[in-house]
Structure 1
Amino acid sequence: MLSDTKIKSLKPAEKIYRVLDSMGLCIEVRPNGRKYWRYRYQWEKKSTTLGLGEYPNVLLAEARKKRDDAKTLILSGVNPLSEKKSKENTEKITTFKSIAQEYRDEHLKNKSERYINQFNTSMQKDVYKVIGDKDIRTVTSADILLILKNTTKRVKRQKNYGTGESTALQNKQFIGAVIRYAIMTLRTEYDPTQAVTGVIKRPPIEHARPLTKEEKKQVRTNLENYNGTETVRNAGMILLYAMLRTIEIRRLLWEWVDFQEKTITFPKNAMKKNRIHILPMSSQVYEVLQRQHKISNNREFVFPAVYKSVGMLSASTLNRMLEYVGLNNVSAHDFRATASTSLYEKGYEEAWVERQLAHAESNKTKASYDHSKHLQQRRKMMQDWADIVDGWRDL
């Protein structure tokens, strides 16, 4: 059997040699003088060698314990070498970024494309910069707090994107989900996001409001005289006429537009409520889209990016357009609020208005089949609304 004194006295030779300790444990001496522990055992009638570490990082007593642990695994029907490789692979995949990507691929595959994009954007813009390369076991509450503060600062620098609290809280939610996944898969033990709960407060909701008489005249007149690109002006006109959200206008594809039927059919994955939405075209919407069709030059998006060869019109471009026409304090939601108020005043049924706004239906099963309900009535309603908008020029 070996002793520490004997191990220290072992000198290197021209070739590797091994000196036995006991029960399959030996020490391997290499020509460069380095010494490694090896454990030889039988697995499925084959001789197998398991490395147990380098001497003196692993001393004799610890090497014997590792040998005994390996023997226990063998008696329980587990190959120590396979167990070691599995453990090493698990330990390699412990950076926050690697686990976040694993979580996304495993747990978000049934989520909408929009949700997955939100997760990816959160990680790329705010999270990975701080903790992406950190071992997830070393991520602290201070790291999370730094991410939240950086997020609010970033969003505040972007005009018309709010004060950042909502984005910061969403980042916290995503980080917490990744860490809890790591806890479930035994790669960390605690969730540091819990300690910063309540540090960032969600801002009060600013409810949409109808436009004033002055704002109505201003937007209709100034937008008609807008001297920016025609694509942006046309997108702005659709914003007025169609009661759509800005994201729905920006992601609008030509394949959804049916000029013959004079309808636009948004698929489920394009809508906030994840269900089909049909927009009957008013004559004004039809004319705007006809003009835009000539401009877009066979590109995929109805309103493509102005200065890029691919992609949709950016949200910031539409925001700058509203600033240009003098509506710094008006949002796209305010146009939708104005439309619903006007149409209710004209006596249109609530169900028609809410359906055209693509609001939630309490009966989700019913809603999934009712996207074309009252289409003719809604077509007249949308024409009335477009005529009301055009009438703002004379206010």
Structure 2
Amino acid sequence: MKLTDSIIKAAKPKNKRYNLPDGKGLVLWVQPDGQKVWRIRYDFNEKEKMLSLGFYPAVSLAAARREHTRFKELLAQGIDPSENRKEEKQQAAIAAANSFESVARLWWNHWKHDKTERHADYTIRRMEADIFPVIGHKPVNEITVAQFIAMVRKVESRGALDIAKRVLTTCGQVMRYAVAHGLAERNPAADIKPSDVLKPAKKTNHKRLSEKELPELLRKIDGYNGQPLTRLALQLMALTFVRTGELIGARWDEINLDKKEWRIPAERMKMRSPHIVPLSQQAITLLEEIHKLAADDVLLFPSERRDGKSMSNNTILYALYRLGYHGRMTGHGFRGVASTILHEQQFNHDHIELQLAHTQRDAVSAAYNHALYLEPRAHMMQQWADYLDKQRVGAEVIPFKAA
């Protein structure tokens, strides 16, 4: 008699295991502990064999019958269901090991060594958010161009065009790693560029003020009534015009007040090259004031949570918002203001570019390095600090000479 769910549910455990047959080799074992296990008996090469299908009710009666039918079809083809199952498990294991996510994590561990912890963490979190849920499970050797395109367009559809471009770039790096290590035959992501599949983005400059608006901003910063460290961070940013991330991550062991230098290591710089910031007397005075607060013995600008991290980028941005500069000025804007004014005052272009730590664009600039032209750069930074002082007090500003 064929089994039914009612018969199975009514079957009670006994002192010894007993069987409930469903016919043609499919049976349900009822164990003394009450567990019910599906089994298939079959003959292969004149040997009797048995294969487990799992526990009831996790494997339903209908599911057990379907699997039984599939096994009978394998037998009809001369295939041992037990050996077939082993091969399927092996193939699944290989596919899992060569999945895009597995290979991507291998690539990330290889790639991250010369990157900042922050950049490396951002990259893996971006993959976990936008890449792995879509193609992470797919064998790396089977991913197509169309699948990459569909994925980045999905990111683009939520308005994250820049992230969509980075996602495609990251996928290309992972696939190159896969090809280099014999895990894939080719890199389909190399067949397309972001501009081929994504909408062009309008180029926008970082928001910044004009020279005429600078005096009011400087005075408002001096009168900032929020956290003292935030005010000092804004003042130091105006004097040094470093990037926001370079400022908030500043460490005391990078500062040498005797030499009047702030040496930022390569791993904290966007361009992965060490950078020297000559310190004006005004900057040194600020640093001494920061040190008196003794907020942290490692970081100049620690998080208020005292969790070993620095203050966030948003601390600078929101402070500017509080001062009335929402949509008008950002931390990065200090760099643009400094570059414009220093060029107008006819300081040497290469000295300005070196002090901004911009990527080098030509053979002449490429010959420079972070430690060259320190004397004229130090002179320029002192002149810049003096210029800001005059702007702050509203005195008539006489253009200074670069020489």
Tell me whether the two structures share a fold, i.e. TM-score over 0.5.
yes
Alignment equivalent of 1:145, drawn from 123, 140, 153: 153
Is 1:171 aligned with 2:192? Answer: no
Rounded to whole Å, the distance in 1 between the matches of 2:185 and 2:273 is 38
Rounded to whole Å, the distance in 1 between the matches of 2:113 and 2:389 is 43
Q: Compared with structure 1, are the counterparts of its residues 61 and 252 closer, same or farther at alpha carbon in structure 2 (3 Å cutoff)?
A: same
- Percent of pairs identical after alignment? 23
Rounded to whole Å, the distance in 1 between the matches of 2:54 and 2:270 is 67
Moved more, 135-144 or 309-318: 135-144
> Which residue in 1 is equivalent to 2:296?
298
Is 1:271 aligned with 2:269? Answer: yes
> Which residue in 2 is equivalent to 1:156?
none
Secondary structure in structure 1 of the residue aligned to 2:77? helix
Q: Compared with structure 1, are the counterparts of its residues 301 and 126 closer, same or farther at alpha carbon in structure 2 (3 Å cutoff)?
A: farther
Is 1:378 aligned with 2:377? Answer: yes
TM-aligned CA deviation for residue 375 of structure 1: 1.4
Rounded to whole Å, the distance in 2 between the matches of 1:260 and 1:33 is 75
Is 1:335 aligned with 2:324? Answer: no
> Which residue in 1 is equivalent to 2:258?
260
Q: Compared with structure 1, are the counterparts of its residues 374 and 10 closer, same or farther at alpha carbon in structure 2 (3 Å cutoff)?
A: closer
Rounded to whole Å, the distance in 2 between the matches of 1:188 and 1:363 is 34
| 5+ long unaligned stretches in structure 2 | 1-22, 30-39, 56-69, 395-403
- Which residue type is aligned with residue 185 of structure 1? L
> Which residue in 1 is equivalent to 2:96?
92
Moved more, 319-328 or 191-200: 191-200
> Which residue in 1 is equivalent to 2:204?
206
CA deviations on 1:268-317 (whole Å, 9 max, x unpaired) are 12112211111111111111111112334334321112334221111111
Rounded to whole Å, the distance in 2 between the matches of 1:283 and 1:207 is 31
- Which residue type is aligned with residue 72 of structure 2? P
Q: Is the 8 A contact 2:172 2:189 kept in 1?
A: yes
Root mean square deviation, CA, Å: 4.3
Rounded to whole Å, the distance in 2 between the matches of 1:368 and 1:296 is 40
Alignment equivalent of 1:131, drawn from 122, 134, 147: 134
Rounded to whole Å, the distance in 1 between the matches of 2:26 and 2:375 is 95
Is 1:287 aligned with 2:285? Answer: yes
Q: Is the 8 A contact 2:209 2:337 kept in 1?
A: yes
Secondary structure in structure 2 of the residue aligned to 1:28? strand
Secondary structure in structure 2 of the residue aligned to 1:102? helix
CA deviations on 1:14-66 (whole Å, 9 max, x unpaired) are 9x9995518xxx551369999xxxxxxxxxxxxxxxxxxx8336324241799
Rounded to whole Å, the distance in 2 between the matches of 1:378 and 1:236 is 21
Is 1:102 aligned with 2:106? Answer: yes
> Which residue in 2 is equivalent to 1:310?
308
Rounded to whole Å, the distance in 1 between the matches of 2:365 and 2:214 is 36
Rounded to whole Å, the distance in 1 between the matches of 2:245 and 2:122 is 13
Task: Please give the TM-score of this superposition, normalised by the length of structure 2.
Answer: 0.69
Rounded to whole Å, the distance in 1 between the matches of 2:386 and 2:252 is 25
Secondary structure in structure 1 of the residue aligned to 2:262? strand
Matches within 5 A, 1:1-395: 21=45, 26=47, 28-29=49-50, 55-56=71-72, 58-63=74-79, 87-93=91-97, 96-106=100-110, 108-109=111-112, 111-113=114-116, 115-128=119-132, 130-131=133-134, 134-135=137-138, 142-150=150-158, 152=159, 164-178=160-174, 185-186=183-184, 198=196, 200-207=198-205, 211-328=209-326, 329-362=328-361, 370-395=369-394
Q: Is the 8 A contact 2:130 2:155 kept in 1?
A: yes
| 5+ long unaligned stretches in structure 1 | 1-7, 35-53, 71-80, 153-163
Q: Is the 8 A contact 1:301 1:312 kept in 2?
A: yes
